[in-house]
Amino acid sequence: MDILHNIIEITDNKFSTLLHFLDNDLQKRYKYYQLADELYLNDMIHCIRKDTLDIEYKGRIKRINDKIQIRHNKFNIYINPNEYYILTKPSKSKMNDRTFFESLLNNL
């Protein structure tokens, strides 16, 4: 159950609304992150559970199907993206895996 669904649905800036309802420690830690619009392989993600607003998993994406497989603490875990707010940190490098996979997708 998503406790912020109605509030986030009507706001323009969904990330700042989510950030407002997180603990102070989490607000400081994730203020430079963003809600993931699109997910790509090898992206580092942080999963905030929608019903408790706690960080449950952090890991690198290994597979994307109806569930997302991430590598978390040396284990592969499958998460349902509908149960989590998924945060990513914007990349600062000029060439990374994201741009590679975007260009590969565009060429197919």
CA-to-CA distance for 38 and 16, rounded, in angstroms? Answer: 18
What number of residues does the chain have? Answer: 108
pTM for this prediction: 0.80
pLDDT digits (tens, 9 = 90+) for 56-102: 999 999 999 899 999 999 999 999 999 999 999 876 665 566 677 77
Q: Which CATH number fits domain 5-107: 3.40.50, 1.10.860, 2.30.30, 2.60.40?
A: 2.30.30
Residue 32's Cβ-count burial label (10 Å; 0-12, 13-18, 19+) is: exposed
CA-to-CA distance for 108 and 104, rounded, in angstroms? Answer: 6
DSSP 12: S
List the domain boundaries for the chain. 5-107
